[in-house]
């Protein structure tokens, strides 16, 4: 592992500077190094500012290098003196040693350092745990910060493809923290920030699996607990296995196609519709199922999830049953679906639906094996979007709301004709 040290002369030769954290971990794993963080031992804030570094953060001094723009943090220790993220007293005096700083870190694989000569400083067997694919806490100081439960879940998701597992003693410690309700002190913004990072990993479902394993879901995502229940569905006459497994499977599948957070989260959220008995197929509830969307709305509101993610998640959940049976739904409801999601003013929203597929193999849907649900929805929209005010002269015949009604009528007519043609073609090919 070779990390080039540059521009340290601006900080002064008398200071000890170490590369720390993720850059060392990723380099040893053969992964690309995205960011480099540095620790400075034996310095004061005044010395750092004198060397033209820009200070950021109020709780403890972190500085931005004037040339590389990388972060340089003073070595520090922390002592728990309250609750929550801000319940710490921080000491960043020049007397704080390298080992005192490293021992406060979360995992051994993140507690390694490298000096300017390239020598690895591994006081807590981080390299051994890397080789053994183990996520292990450094010390009992781990339990002072409940956010670390989420961070371990995120690292488990990020490194799952390399075979990493959480050490039993670390998982036990995380479980103890959750059972003590330590996670209730976390701010919603910080919960979502870590969750967002977890959703960006190669295996985002692992993030939630770990949180469930240590009982964190009870306090952070209580709505998701419902997805672990079995449900007998009289409408389709079968016992639905826990929706969580279908949700995790779908989240894993989607992560192969896109890193888009609102798609990953909303495709998982759609399965909230499966924790309630399915309503009769040709009812308003079946068209847009409001009951499960209450849970999605509650989760998104409590964690202050961005509105765009909240909106598409509610759409995916509420319209889940309807879209899964779209081939046997009346055409006027399909056009109504396009109206509700406001595809006319925001056609880009259909890109969110493009990866959808038919999940219920026992339902006999014409062409479901020949075309995915997402592609079918887009094909239908391509038919109805041809009918617009510009394409037909409405001015001399209709005014006001009559224009909208006529547009709607023609869209239904053209889409119905296209659907009948597709059905006829399908039957002809299979007879």
H helical segments located in 36-165: 45-50, 98-102, 126-131, 147-158
Least confident of 78-82, 374-378, 417-421: 78-82
Q: Does residue 345 have a known ligand-binding role?
A: no
pTM: 0.87
Residue 186: closest CA among 81, 303, 78: 303
Q: Does residue 198 have a known ligand-binding role?
A: no
Q: Which residues of 79-93 are buried (b: 16+ CB within 10 A; e: fewer)?
A: eeeeeeeeebeeebe
What pLDDT is recorded for position 42?
83
Longest CA–CA span in the chain (Å) reads: 85
**Average pLDDT of the residues of the chain:** 87
- Distance, in Å, from the CA atom of 411 to the CA atom of 279, rounded to the nearest integer, reads 27
Mean pLDDT of 219-245: 74
Q: Does residue 190 have a known ligand-binding role?
A: no
- Distance, in Å, from the CA atom of 33 to the CA atom of 21, rounded to the nearest integer, reads 11
Six-digit token pair at 180?
A: 């003590």
What pLDDT is recorded for position 387?
85
Read off the pLDDT of residues 153-200 as tens digits, 9 standing for 90 and up: 999 999 999 999 999 999 999 999 999 999 999 999 999 999 999 999
The set of residues, in sequence order, having a beta carbon less than 8 Å from that of 55 and lying 6+ positions away, is: 45, 48, 49, 61, 62, 63, 64
- Distance, in Å, from the CA atom of 119 to the CA atom of 418, rounded to the nearest integer, reads 69
Q: Does residue 411 have a known ligand-binding role?
A: no
Element (H, E) at 236: none
Which has more confidence, 119 or 280?
Answer: 119
Q: Which pairing describes strands 71-74 and 37-41: parallel, antiparallel, or unpaired?
A: parallel
Q: What class, spelled out in words, does domain 1-126 have in CATH?
A: alpha beta
Domain with CATH 3.30.460.10 in the chain: 1-126
Per the CB < 8 A criterion, the answer to whether 86 and 59 are in contact is: yes
Q: Does residue 105 have a known ligand-binding role?
A: yes
What pLDDT is recorded for position 373?
95
H helical segments located in 81-199: 98-102, 126-131, 147-158, 168-179, 188-199
Element (H, E) at 58: none
What pLDDT is recorded for position 396?
64
Per the CB < 8 A criterion, the answer to whether 246 and 236 are in contact is: no
- Distance, in Å, from the CA atom of 39 to the CA atom of 214, rounded to the nearest integer, reads 32
Element (H, E) at 361: none
- Distance, in Å, from the CA atom of 327 to the CA atom of 329, rounded to the nearest integer, reads 6
- Distance, in Å, from the CA atom of 115 to the CA atom of 168, rounded to the nearest integer, reads 32
Q: Does residue 25 have a known ligand-binding role?
A: yes
77 φ, ψ to 5°? -125, 160
pLDDT at 315 over 80: yes
The set of residues, in sequence order, having a beta carbon less than 8 Å from that of 409 and lying 6+ positions away, is: none
Q: Does residue 145 have a known ligand-binding role?
A: no
Residue found under tokens 């005010």:
389
What pLDDT is recorded for position 237?
47
What pLDDT is recorded for position 68?
81
Six-digit token pair at 93?
A: 């005096």
* Separation in Å, CA 360 to CA 39, 270, 298, 320, 373: 54, 14, 27, 11, 11
């Amino acid at each position: 592992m070779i990390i080039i040290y540059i521009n340290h002369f601006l900080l002064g030769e008398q200071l000890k500077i170490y590369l720390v954290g993720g850059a060392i971990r990723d380099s040893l794993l053969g992964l690309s190094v995205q960011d480099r963080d540095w620790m400075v031992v034996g310095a004061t804030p005044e010395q750092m500012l004198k060397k033209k570094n820009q200070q950021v953060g109020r709780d403890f001094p972190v500085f931005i290098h004037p040339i590389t723009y990388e972060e340089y943090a003073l070595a520090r220790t922390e002592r728990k003196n309250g609750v929550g993220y801000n319940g710490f007293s921080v000491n960043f005096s020049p007397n704080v040693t390298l080992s005192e700083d490293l021992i406060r870190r979360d995992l051994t694989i993140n507690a390694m350092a490298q000096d300017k000569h390239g020598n690895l400083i591994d006081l807590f067997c981080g390299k051994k745990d890397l080789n053994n694919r183990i996520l292990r806490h450094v010390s009992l100081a781990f339990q002072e910060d409940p956010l670390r439960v989420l961070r371990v879940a995120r690292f488990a998701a990020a490194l799952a493809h390399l075979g990493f597992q959480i050490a039993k003693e670390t998982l036990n410690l995380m479980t103890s923290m959750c059972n003590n309700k330590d996670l209730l002190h976390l701010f919603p913004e910080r919960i979502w920030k870590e969750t967002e990072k977890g959703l960006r990993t190669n295996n985002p479902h692992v993030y939630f699996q770990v949180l469930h394993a240590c009982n964190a879901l009870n306090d952070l995502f209580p709505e998701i607990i419902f997805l672990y229940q079995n449900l007998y569905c009289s409408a389709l006459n079968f016992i639905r296995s826990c929706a969580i497994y279908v949700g995790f499977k779908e989240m894993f599948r989607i992560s192969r196609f896109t890193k888009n957070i609102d798609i990953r989260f909303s495709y998982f959220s759609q399965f909230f519709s499966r924790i309630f008995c399915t309503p009769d197929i040709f009812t308003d509830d079946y068209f847009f199922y409001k009951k499960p969307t209450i849970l999605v709305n509650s989760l998104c509101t409590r964690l202050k999830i961005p509105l765009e993610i909240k909106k598409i998640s509610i759409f995916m959940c509420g319209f889940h049953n309807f879209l899964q049976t779209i081939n046997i739904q009346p055409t006027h409801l399909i056009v109504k679906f396009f109206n509700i999601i406001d595809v006319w003013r925001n056609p880009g929203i259909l890109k969110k639906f493009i990866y959808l597929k038919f999940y219920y193999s026992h339902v006999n849907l014409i062409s479901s094996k020949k075309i995915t649900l997402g592609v079918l929805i887009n094909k239908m929209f391509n038919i109805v979007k041809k009918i617009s005010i510009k394409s037909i002269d409405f001015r001399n015949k209709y005014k006001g709301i009559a224009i909208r009604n006529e547009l709607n009528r023609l869209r239904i007519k053209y889409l119905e004709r296209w659907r009948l043609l597709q059905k006829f073609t399908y039957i002809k090919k299979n007879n």
